[in-house]
Amino acid sequence: MTAQIEPVCRAHARGCQVVVTQISETSPIHFGSATVDAIRHQAANLGFPHMDIFSGAGHDAGHLASVCPTGMLFVPCEKGISHNEVENARPADLAAGAQVLASFLLERANR
């Protein structure tokens, strides 16, 4: 994202010097399709709208993916803000996420 951030900073610098320094780089992690498909299937079975997203945040799931089947389940947050103290999700969305997770885990436990 460095290549995308620097031009935006320069365009709004108003004469200030802009130096963008990359301090971290993490390779993308692709979760196995079986787990992701199973989560997607549970959401659909429960009648919840769902979509695939890419997360730029670091998660424990990224480490787990190297040793076991892994996927992630997100719920909508107000204004798309997450990993921040102003993160806010509606109780109904949290309940839906918990239902999908419970349904997924129950299906996996009964395999």
DSSP letters for 23-49: ----------HHHHHHHHHHHHHTT--
pLDDT of residue 57: 66
pLDDT of residue 103: 97
CATH code of the region 27-109: 1.10.150
pLDDT of residue 29: 84
pLDDT of residue 85: 93
- Give the whole-angstrom CA distance, residue 106 versus residue 82: 27
- Give the whole-angstrom CA distance, residue 97 versus residue 103: 10
Average pLDDT, the chain: 90
Helix (H, G, I), strand (E, B) or coil at 68: coil
- Residue 68 identity: C
